[in-house]
Amino acid sequence: MKMRLTKSQRGFSLLELMIAATLGVLLILAMTSLFRTGMTTTFTVTQRAETQQNMRAAIELLTKDISLAGSGLPTGGLQLATAGGATKVACNQSGTCYVPGDVYNANYMTGILPGFGNGVQSSAVIAAAPAATNDSITSIYCDYNFPLSNFTFAFPTTTSATATTINAAVSPNNVLAPGGLNVGDLMLFTVSSAGNGTTSQGTSAVQTAAAVGEITGLSPGTPPTINFAAADALNFNQAVGDANSLAYVIQNSLGGGTTITACRLEAVTYFLEVPPAGGTVQTPRLMRQVNGLPAVAVADNIINLQFSYDVISSTTGLMNANLANVIAAGDSPALIQKVNMWVMGQSLIASGDKSQSMYLASSVSTRNMSFCNSYSSSSTVCQ
C-alpha cells in the first residue's frame, strides 16, 4: 500500500501577526481621529452659526428701533414734568427698573437716550465678557403700526380721556383692540389752538403744546376711557401745577378751536440681563423693554453690548464722531446723527476649546433726529 503524504502549509509568524495588528490599530486610530476631527469641526461650525444667528437677530431689532428714533416727537425733544421728581425710563408696573440709570437726562425726552456704562440689569457682572463697558440704549418714537388717526380725543377731566372712532370701516376702530393700548403705555398728546397773532404771511398763528402721559387704566365703553392717574409707575402723570405735565396742558390749552392729536409712544430700551442662579436660563441675554411693560428676551448668549454716537456739536456745528458717552462730552442727545453698535455673542457651550465668542458690528443713521445747518451764513442753526 502507498501512504499519502500531506504537504505541510506554513502559517503566519508571530512577528507578522504583530505587524498586521499594529497596522490595523493605527488605521483604526487614524479613522477615529479623522471622525472626531470632523465631528468637532461640525460642532464648532454649528456653534458659530447659532452665535451669529443670535447676534444678527439682536442687530436687526436694534437697527429697526434706532432707525425710527425721534419719529413723531417735537423737534429737538420734549421737556418732561419735574415738579414731582424725575421721570423714569425702563421700569415696569411692579416698580422693577431694569437699568441702573433709570431716569431721563435732565428730565428731557429726546429720540435717543444713551446709557453709557449702565447696560446690565442690577449692575450684575458678566464673567465671560471682556473688560469693555456694557451700555444700554433707549429709542423713542411714535408707533405707527397702531395709528390713532381714526380717533378723536376729548378730556372730560385732566386725568382721563375718551377715544371716539371717526370711521368704523377703518382699522383700527377700537383703542382696546388686540395690539392696541395697554396699561403702562405712553401717549403723546399735541394740542393745537388758534393764537392771538398772525404769521408773516398774514395767516392766523397756531399755538401748540405737547405732553406725555402714562396709561394707568382702560375702561371699555362707548367711547372707551383712558385714565392717566397720578402716582404712575414712570412718574409722567404729575400735578397740574407743572407746566410740562399732561394735566397742565389739558387744563390750560383746551378751548374753542383746539384740536387734539395723539400717538402711542414706543420708549424701547435694550440692555443685558444675567438670570439669577437656580433658574432654567443661566446665560446672559439681550432684553427689550417697552414703555412701562415687562422686559422680554430677544437674543440669548449676548455677553457684551456697546454703543458709540456721531453727534453734531450745537456750538461748532461740526461732527463729533464715535463718542461713547455723549452726555459727559457735553453734547445733546437730540443731535445724534448715527449710532454705532457692537454686540458680542458666546456659544451655548462655554467650556474648554468648544467655546465660541465673536463680535458683530453695525451702524444706523437716525433719520428723524434734529440736525444743525453748519453752512448758515450767520451762525450754526440747529433744528
pLDDT, tens digit only, all 383 positions of the chain: 566 655 566 667 778 788 888 888 888 888 887 777 776 666 666 677 777 888 888 999 999 999 999 999 998 899 999 988 899 999 999 999 999 989 999 999 999 999 999 999 988 888 777 777 899 999 999 999 999 999 999 999 999 999 999 999 998 999 998 889 999 999 999 988 765 444 444 444 557 889 999 999 999 988 999 999 999 999 999 988 888 999 999 888 765 557 889 999 999 999 999 887 655 556 889 999 999 999 999 998 899 999 999 999 877 878 899 999 999 999 999 999 999 999 998 876 645 456 678 889 999 999 888 866 655 545 555 65
Q: Do residues 89 and 138 touch, judged by C-beta distance below 8 A?
A: yes
Residue 23 belongs to a domain: no
Residue 303 belongs to a domain: yes
Residue 31 belongs to a domain: no
Where in the sequence is the domain holding 358, given as residue range(s)?
Answer: 46-382
Residue 106 belongs to a domain: yes
Residue 177 belongs to a domain: yes
pLDDT for the residue numbered 49: 73
- Residue identified by cell 396699561 is 183
How far apart (Å, rounded) are the C-alpha atoms in residues 207 and 254?
11
| Nearest one of 323, 312, 296, 305 to 361, comparing CA atoms | 305
The structural domain count of the chain equals 1
Residue 33 belongs to a domain: no
Residue 241 belongs to a domain: yes
Q: What's the pTM?
A: 0.84
pLDDT for the residue numbered 245: 93
Residue 5 belongs to a domain: no
